[in-house]
Amino acid sequence: MSAMLQVEGISKYFGGLKAVDDCTLGVEQGSITALIGPNGSGKTTLFNVVTGFLKATKGRVLFEGREITNLPPHRIANLGIARTFQVSSLFPKLTVWENLLVAYPHQKGESLWAVFTGQGQIRKQEEEQIERAHRITDRIGLAHKIEEKAANLSAPEARMLEIGRQLMFSPRLVMLDEPSSGVNPAMLDVLANMIIELNKEGMTFFIIGHNLSFIMKLSHFMHVLHYSKLIASGTPQVVARDERVIEAYMGVRQ
Amino acid sequence: MSNIILFLSSVIALMGIYALLTLAVNLHYGYAGLLSFGIVGFAAVGAYTYAIVTRGAPVGEDVYLFYFNQPWWVGFLAAGVVTTLFAFIIGLPTLRVEGDYLLIVTFAFAEVIQDLLSNEGWLTNGTRGFINIHLPFRELIPGRNYTLILAFLIVVIVAVVYLIAQRLGTAPFGRTLRAIRDNEPAALAIGKSVFSFKMRVFLLGAAICGFAGAMYTWYMTLAMPSIFGMSVSFAAWIALIVGGQGNNKGAIVGTIVLLGVQQAFKFISLTPDMAPIISSIQLIMEGLVLIVILRFWPRGLLPEKSPRPPKPAITKEAI
């Protein structure tokens, strides 16, 4: 059986620097798959290549059997892959509800023609979507802040809103880059539960994580990058006992 | 008394023209975050298109070759269309560059346009420009009272453009523009074709500038390279920052404040020898207005307002 997302021999070179070197890995449909590795091992670069923000030097990326290598980012997103960034993925001057509503696909009101001729249709679509947005804010605990600007949210609230927006966009694969950064330990559990819940509802996750205990608890499957190369893949239990992974994180045992 | 009314209506006409430019800057920068300084270049293209399309045969020392002798409304529409085409050609390469680079490119575009107007006499009649511009409804109202009609016509056009800008700004189209302005990679990541949005708003703003340029020739009754200097772009930008970025009402209010201060000085230049002094003070005053406003209203007089969420449709359970 082939994976939902397949990365085949992807390399990304910046001049002489090999940021990602001949990486082959997969993300199974319905899984929470983690990508871990020490700083600078190429995790974010790999994410950027998969989502089209960087062009691959070599190799190819397949999503649901279809080649998506080097497509423009918005095309890849519209195929059903959403992603967040290490820095905020929110629109700071937009309110919470706008941050949600801006994300739903096929907006009639984005066509200039419709703005002047199809006002009724646009209103109907917006009303349907605001209902979804209300359900989402209830779920992520931001119902009371729906008219607040995203810039005024706390770091954990902002992370929850980023997750909430994925619901609005309703992708099949969600790629989260460091969702745990800037989130306090108490909120970390809420965030983890949210991800597990969404996964049970059928959303596939591919997550970069620095916080190992968080990521170990969460994921079904892990890939480990070290010095731009994939050094291990497997369940968290297997990966945690892998000699090379321990070496990469702890150094060589004398 | 009637002198004052005529003066005021000419002020209103000028305010209206600048209000259009400021609304265009607001679409470009306030909504989409495009640092577009080519405003005056688009206005110049619109103005000359209008002049050439409505022009009769050359007389005396005129050197231009093309003239089309069309009524004013044909020229007016042509001004919008030709400016949009220009903007498309400019936008294709430049909208791919970001931030400060776009600023430099659009700035250069406006400068190049001004040079072309001076040097390509076969098309633009060179530095002589076009005098005796064909004015709308001129036959109906001869004499000085024409200014009243002009002011009225301009106010109507500004109202229409304001309503269009407002409709666009509050529609999902405007929301996506503001999202792109706030965080471009994130907008790409939710599947927005950033380039297409930037291009569409760039063309819209440019078209508005083209119309404003044609209207500026009505106001001046001529089209000359010298009236399309960079100071026009700066005035529109200052007006927007004074009024409030991302707010169409702010764009209008900012224009009224800035031009109000400018024109108030014209009003007190009573004797001819005072005129040069007043015109230098006018520039100082523009700067002063900007500083004072930014000191007390750092986000402008009318800052960007967050729209209210739409009311959800009444669900079946509720009935």
Min CA distance, B196 vs chain A (Å)? 11
DSSP β-bridge partners for residue A223 = A35, A233
Burial of B77 (0-12, 13-18, 19+ CB in 10 A): middle
Residue B254 lies inside a defined structural domain of this protein: no
Task: Please name the helix (run of DSSP H) or strand (run of DSSP E) that holds residue B8, with its range, or none.
Answer: helix B2-25
Do A93 and B182 lie within an 8 Å CB cutoff?
Answer: yes
Structural tokens at position B122: 């076969």
The pLDDT assigned to A43 comes to 94
Burial of B255 (0-12, 13-18, 19+ CB in 10 A): buried
Q: Which residue out of B163, B164, B178, B183 would a mutagenesis test of the A interface target, given it has the greatest number of A Cβ atoms within 10 Å?
A: B183
What is the Cα–Cα distance from B54 to B57, expressed in whole angstroms? 10
Buried b (16+ CB within 10 A) or exposed e, A35-60: bbbeeebbbbbbbbbbbbbbebeebe
What is the Cα–Cα distance from B69 to B66, expressed in whole angstroms? 10
Min CA distance, B307 vs chain A (Å)? 8
The pLDDT assigned to B292 comes to 92
Coil vs helix vs strand at B95: coil
Residue B83 lies inside a defined structural domain of this protein: yes
Number of inter-chain CB pairs under 8 A, A vs B: 120
Residue B288 lies inside a defined structural domain of this protein: no
Phi first, then psi: what are they for A69, rounded to 5°?
-55, 125
> Does residue B274 or residue A192 have the better pLDDT?
A192
Task: Please name the helix (run of DSSP H) or strand (run of DSSP E) that holds residue B100, with its range, or none.
Answer: helix B99-119
Considering only CB atoms, which chain B residues are within 8 Å of A124? 313
Which single residue is written with the structure tokens 């020898």?
A: B273
pLDDT in tens, chain B (319 residues): 688 899 899 999 999 999 999 999 999 999 999 999 989 999 999 999 999 999 988 888 888 988 999 999 999 999 999 999 999 999 998 898 777 888 998 999 999 999 999 999 999 999 999 998 999 988 888 788 899 999 999 999 999 999 999 999 999 999 999 999 999 999 999 999 999 999 999 999 999 999 999 999 999 999 999 999 998 999 999 999 999 999 999 999 999 999 998 888 777 666 777 777 777 787 788 888 899 999 999 999 999 988 888 887 655 444 4
Min CA distance, B152 vs chain A (Å)? 25
Taking only the tens place, the pLDDT of each residue in A205-223 is 999 988 888 898 899 999 9
CA nearest neighbour of B110 among B245, B242, B204, B225: B225
CA nearest neighbour of B219 among B158, B128, B287, B282: B158
DSSP β-bridge partners for residue A225 = A230
Alpha-carbon torsion (B88, B91, B92, B93), positive or negative: positive
Residue B293 lies inside a defined structural domain of this protein: no
End-to-end Cα spacing for chain A? 42
What is the Cα–Cα distance from A220 to A218, expressed in whole angstroms? 7
What is the Cα–Cα distance from A185 to B247, expressed in whole angstroms? 40
Q: Does domain A5-90+156-250 have CATH number 3.40.50.300?
A: yes
Considering only CB atoms, which chain A residues are within 8 Å of B312? 127, 130-131, 134
Whether the pLDDT of residue A45 is over 70: the answer is: yes
DSSP alpha helix (H) spans, chain A:
43-50, 73-78, 96-101, 112-117, 119-140, 155-169, 185-200, 212-218, 236-241, 243-250
Do A77 and B191 lie within an 8 Å CB cutoff?
Answer: yes
From residue A93, how far is each of A153, B64, B176, B246, B274 by CA, in Å? 11, 50, 12, 10, 47
Contact predicate B172/A107, CB 8 Å: yes
Mean pLDDT of chain A: 91
Considering only CB atoms, which chain B residues are within 8 Å of A77? 188-191
Do B191 and A74 lie within an 8 Å CB cutoff?
Answer: yes
Taking only the tens place, the pLDDT of each residue in A73-110 is 999 999 999 999 988 899 999 999 999 999 998 899 99
Length of chain B: 319
CATH 3.40.50.300 range(s) for chain A read 5-90+156-250
Do A85 and B189 lie within an 8 Å CB cutoff?
Answer: yes
Burial of A34 (0-12, 13-18, 19+ CB in 10 A): buried
Do A127 and B313 lie within an 8 Å CB cutoff?
Answer: yes
Residue B154 domain boundaries: 2-229
- In degrees, rounded to 5, the angle at the alpha carbon of residue B102 between the alpha carbons of residues B120 and B216 is 50
Do B313 and A128 lie within an 8 Å CB cutoff?
Answer: yes
pTM of the model: 0.91
> Does residue A125 or residue A253 have the better pLDDT?
A125
Considering only CB atoms, which chain B residues are within 8 Å of A165? 190
> Does residue A70 or residue A248 have the better pLDDT?
A70
For B32, residues 6+ apart whose C-beta sits below 8 A from its C-beta are B177, B178, B180, B181, B197, B198, B201, B202
Contact predicate A99/A149, CB 8 Å: no
Considering only CB atoms, which chain B residues are within 8 Å of A78? 191
Phi first, then psi: what are they for B251, rounded to 5°?
-60, -45
CA nearest neighbour of B149 among B254, B219, B82, B93: B219
Q: DSSP of A55-87, one letter per residue?
A: --SEEEEEETTEE-TT--HHHHHHTTEEE--SS
Coil vs helix vs strand at B223: strand
What is the predicted ipTM? 0.90
* DSSP structure class, residue B31: I
Contact predicate A2/A65, CB 8 Å: yes
* Domain count of the fold of chain B: 1
* DSSP structure class, residue B309: P
DSSP β-bridge partners for residue A32 = A205
Residue B287 lies inside a defined structural domain of this protein: no
Do B311 and A127 lie within an 8 Å CB cutoff?
Answer: yes
Put the strands of the sheet holding A66-67 in their side by side order: A17-27, A5-14, A58-63, A66-67
Min CA distance, A245 vs chain B (Å)? 31
Burial of A220 (0-12, 13-18, 19+ CB in 10 A): middle
What is the Cα–Cα distance from B55 to B109, expressed in whole angstroms? 26
The pLDDT assigned to B318 comes to 44
Considering only CB atoms, which chain A residues are within 8 Å of B308? 147
Contact predicate B240/B26, CB 8 Å: yes
